[in-house]
Amino acid sequence: MDMLGYVSYAIPFLGEWGDIIWAPLSGLIFYRLFGGWKGALGGVANVVEELLPGVDFIPSFTIMWMIKYFRTQRRSKSIQPI
């Protein structure tokens, strides 16, 4: 999803203007992917990040995925079968 957000920069003159369309869409996708209050908070933060000029380089989807993945890994390792 982060790579999809970078596509607007590949098209000349689109850049930041493409983010006006992408920002609310990415916020909705973020919420649907991660759900709950973390997904809602992350979705709002993602919309703000996409709308602010110059901070589009932050891979918010990747960061959230890594947080969820490594927390799941830590929990599954802490539960040992008897």
Pull the structure tokens for residue 46: 């993602």
Maximum alpha-carbon separation in the chain: 61
Q: Which domain holds residue 66?
A: 2-78
Closest CA to 2 of 63, 48, 44, 51: 63
Q: What is the pLDDT of residues 9-47, one digit of tens each?
A: 787 777 778 888 889 999 999 999 998 998 999 999 999
Q: How confident is the model at residue 54 (pLDDT cuts 50, 70, 90)?
A: confident
Domain count across the chain: 1
